[in-house]
Structure 1
């Protein structure tokens, strides 16, 4: 059990957690929520022992392994599969020791422990996790250094999940994932066999993957057993009751104070008045509801509503190399007030399609027709880095309104969520959510006809995401969105388009149907090694690939199987040498039995490796 006993945590003089006590039972799956900057990540640091608490203590079973996502993405010559396998430190150490051990007793202990931790199935489990997070069998054989930072963070997440620590701490893990990876992770966490605490603002993850909520609210930790929707209802009812009690208490205070003020000067009532004064002093104020309202997000309406269609593409091929277009034969239409969510794993062409719609990429063939005076606003996470760190929200807005008076600039800053002194805060001091809010305001400043949102929720908390959903629904123009947040898509999108296999086509189903298809194709529970069935059209897509590309995964499988056969054969030889000792069975029958069991397990693993080699060789 993880126990936080009367802990207080202070950073730079600011009290983040104030004398809170919480007990997390083994096997609990906890969603950790709270406003950005409340101190959630700081508490993780304290649990890992990287930060001392001001008061109280944090305890857990001494043998518990604590795992969390590495701050830096892995980078090196090892393959993705090797990086993930090394995350299980015990297995890695035992396998290295097994190669040099000579003492029969130690050999038996090693092999028994390898059986206990299911070491022989580790490569298949690691491959299944990588596949679930979007890496094909061919990808898994490539070195880590070949991938971008975002993809390498997925590898770090895969390594953390594969290690399966007793206490798993995850801080916004979906920020590195697309919708498909998020759906797989939700399912994986829902079936995690040990204790997990995940910081998240994703409502669907908090409803499908956890069974408890931990809320850091105004410096206090509130522990609730149930999913997020149940907690949200409980909290709303509690806040309504607190507000009612506060109102009643205020009325009683007012009545007592009026009595004191009226009769304190009268000798006949002095005693009663003094009694009321003491009652007022003893009355503890009811904790007032601190407003958690977030500023609204408002997208300015376009000056003119355009006649549909506002954009149409006919038989378009587009990409970065005319010989190998990313998308082919794209035919689509976008009307005013359309709400379209783009689905499909990263790397399939969603960003390419978005650049086409934003007129940032010229097609190789086909035609694109745009309505006259069509204005498009484009928001993407990488644009956060383009904000001037030394400027304030006021400075950014003033550049767009150079001739406007001070009052109008301040009013516009307030409209996008930066009222008063907040407008003068330097960008470098803003939180990720505040930067995202500023960028949304700047991107849509002139009232576009169409807004393109590429992962707009990554830095937004739950309430800000709800405000974004309201803004999208209130906007009179068209909205195209790419997001891993199912709540946002469910709340706003009326069309789903799948980008896969070089095509763009409408999806005939809802997000629940898509979720089932994704989990089935990625082998979420079967542990399937390959990602061959990642979409309904994958067989046709593979048939079109060059034969040499098909052989790469097969060659890798053959090489892996041969290495496994060689390794297991060496282990069996050592066990046989130990079993051949003449007095082993009479001197230590228990050790002999362990060795016999270890040999049987190793023989079974050898048989499995040989079957894999035969299957790959035949293919």
Structure 2
């Protein structure tokens, strides 16, 4: 049995102990019945496939072949040992009588049937079969999930597997592992048939703040989901919270929704209320001493967790994320999806889990809220793992950077800028080492080729050959491909002003004016960024510039040859999820050669099979690139972009900035990404207080004003 266990565990280290015992028991008890590899495969192959996965059918076949060989060796040993000469004749009648075999009256041949002795524990067999059935049901449920959901987005079809050491398993089962560090070793993650991570390792030290970076579609968001869903196992005593869904809109007040996260406080308050009501209902002379004692214990527990300070803390977090005092007492159903996502983020910050997972938290925030979140997370007490495209945000909050590349997770100390410097230096050193080894190998090979047939140099040639064989296998340095975006600039120059707003006022209702007195002029060399808190009218201003909305008062003037392309922050809504990128581009601009569609998509990084896959299966950043390709197809001379960096990776954001900087037409954009603003914009316009004004000092002056507002808010 030890031989069977050794073969199975060496090939399938993740197999459960009960399954292993069941398989070895089947092999041991039925060794006489297995005559070929097919018999072994029929008996235990299905179980091994469940452990390894259907992709490892070849490995399972090889293991069954090895087990078959062991079975044959054992049977030969048994046969030779049992071939002994009997000293006396065998009396069948006595054997039958001794074994109490009941034969029928008309039986003409006496036969004793040997009972099959099984080494398999029935209880363990039932457990093993139950586990196999559960895995099969889980797999069939995954197979039945449709490829896209009602919103047209690709549903989660990711899977993960990992190897856990016996030591860690024993610690987890015994409940003695109280470590707050998280270690996930030798794990794989796949999305459908695409392998995202292979034999990767992840170590998160308690109290560190990790930025998770990598190209679009490489698996950053999938990794967070695998951790939060439990597909990748961590210690059971560690609490994990993944902010990925907005809160449900109902009659719960925003501040109460945040306070509900503290279940300990809520339960104590409920118990305190019940005990107080019970004591008030009883007469003074018949007070229950146990109830009074328990009420005192509840009061003490509430004091220890500082329950009285919780509402102020929740209000502070909501205010930092942009909720006014009036908004904090609104029902959650009254908020849009973006604001409900902010409530979800506030709940996570308030509850302080052992591991907080944030996926693009700045997407829903304006610059003011981002600055507050940076300051708040710098003092975060537990472990933080965040995916973000905002380089400045990662520089401010990260103590470490995890880089997803080539199906591995590489760890770097320091913030994002330090990571870039260290990675570049590491790649240079690897390239120098590769070139030095290649040069040495070539030098040795020249000597060998020259003196290979020289008898006097035979010994020296052999030593050189052995030296080459001892050298490590050379691997060229693998680098990420450079991201390049280019917006075509082949159009005639237009005399200024090409786009102008004069004393514009706009309001959706008579009672509330969004802004008034707006004077904005843009030419083909303009690079204007519009900033301001959410709800101050940034998107409304863009729609007036586009001509989609007419001002209530004032004039919008546009040059007759002006061609504007608009990138909306909800660009995904414009894409057909069921079409491929090529099909969608062809539907927008028909009757063009296929090569032109491919060339256009390729200019924005949508190459190869990405162009032919359904849009629903693309990552958020890849969908953004498709939208860029569609936006630029009609060769516009003016771009208006509303939050274009959402879902892009950092390299693509920088490439977008360079492309807009080199573009010969005009640009007006709304963005909260500091790096993009500094790279592109020459003018800064601020929405707020019912107007839109130019900020002469640019982004630095605007940030300085916001920081002073924070100080005044905290001092008050």
Cα gap change, 1:6/1:259 in structure 2, threshold over 3 Å: closer, same or farther?
A: farther
Aligned to 1:89: 263
Query: With CA pairs under 8 Å and 6+ residues apart, which has the higher RCO, 1 or 2?
Result: 1
Counterpart among 277, 291, 295 of residue 103 in structure 1: 291
| CA distances 1:521-544 after superposition (whole Å, capped 9, x unpaired) | 35698286xxxxxxxxxxxxxxxx
Which residues in structure 2 correspond to 1:413-562 (within 5 Å)?
413-521=601-709, 526=714
Partner of 2:240: 66
Deviates more, 1:494-503 or 1:191-200: 191-200
| Residues 1:519 and 1:307: Cα distance change in structure 2 (over 3 Å) | same
CA contact (8 A) 1:302 1:448 kept: no
The CA distance in 2 between the partners of 1:165 and 1:422, in whole Å, is 37
Paired residue secondary structure (1:326) = strand
Deviation track 1:291-350 (CA, whole Å, cap 9, x = no partner) reads 312431111115112122211211111243456442222122112211111111111110
Distance 1:258 1:13, change over 3 A: farther
Other structure's SS at 2:554 match: strand
What is the distance in 2 between the residues matched to 1:259 and 1:302? 57
Is the counterpart of residue 2 in structure 1 residue 2 in structure 2?
A: no
Tell me the SS of whatever aligns to 1:481: strand
- Are positions 1:352 and 2:540 aligned together? yes
Contact 1:343/1:496 (8 A) holds in 2: yes
In 1, Cα distance between equivalents of 2:413 and 2:335: 40
**TM-score relative to the length of structure 1:** 0.79
Matches of 1:335 and 1:42, distance apart in 2: 43
Aligned residues: 522
Quote the residue 2:148 is aligned against. Answer: none
Deviates more, 1:88-97 or 1:103-112: 103-112
Q: Deviations over 1:336-389 (max 9, x none)?
A: 211111111111110110001111111122112222311111001212122122
Q: 1:167 aligns with which of 337, 340, 355?
A: 355
DSSP-derived class of the 1:465 partner = helix
The 3 A distance-change label for structure 1 pair 39 and 408 is closer
In 1, the alpha carbon distance for the partners of 2:662 and 2:551 equals 32
* CA distance in structure 1 between the aligned counterparts of 2:385 and 2:607, rounded to whole angstroms: 35
- For the pair 1:26 / 2:195, whether they are aligned, the reply is no
Gap change, CA 1:332 and 1:42, over 3 Å in 2 = closer
TM-score (norm 2): 0.69
Aligned to 1:132: 320
| Gap runs ≥5 in structure 1 | 529-619
Q: Partner residue of 2:220?
A: 40
Root-mean-square deviation over aligned CA pairs:
2.5
- The equivalent of 2:415 in structure 1 is 227
**Residue deviations 1:131-178 (CA, integer Å, cap 9, x gap):** 111111111111101111111111111111111223222121112222
Q: Distance in 2 between matches of 1:124 and 1:527?
A: 14
Where does residue 288 of structure 1 map in the other structure?
A: 476
Q: Does 1:278 align with 2:466?
A: yes
Correspondence list, 1:147-162, <5 A:
147-162=335-350
Q: 1:522 to 1:146 in 2, by over 3 A?
A: farther
Q: Which runs of no fewer than 5 residues in structure 2 stay unpaired?
A: 1-179, 276-289
Q: Which has the larger radius of gyration?
A: 2
Quick one: distance in 2 between partners of 1:414 and 1:170? 31
Aligned with 2:383 (options 150, 170, 195): 195
Deviation string for 1:380-437 (max 9, x for gaps)?
1212122122322322333455444344343333223334444323222222111101
CA–CA distance in 1 between the matches of 2:601 and 2:358? 35
Aligned to 2:562: 374
Distance 1:199 1:127, change over 3 A: same
Q: Which stretches of structure 1, 4 residues or more, deviate above 6 A after TM superposition?
A: none
Tell me how far apart the structure 2 counterparts of residues 297 and 163 of structure 1 sit (CA, whole Å): 41
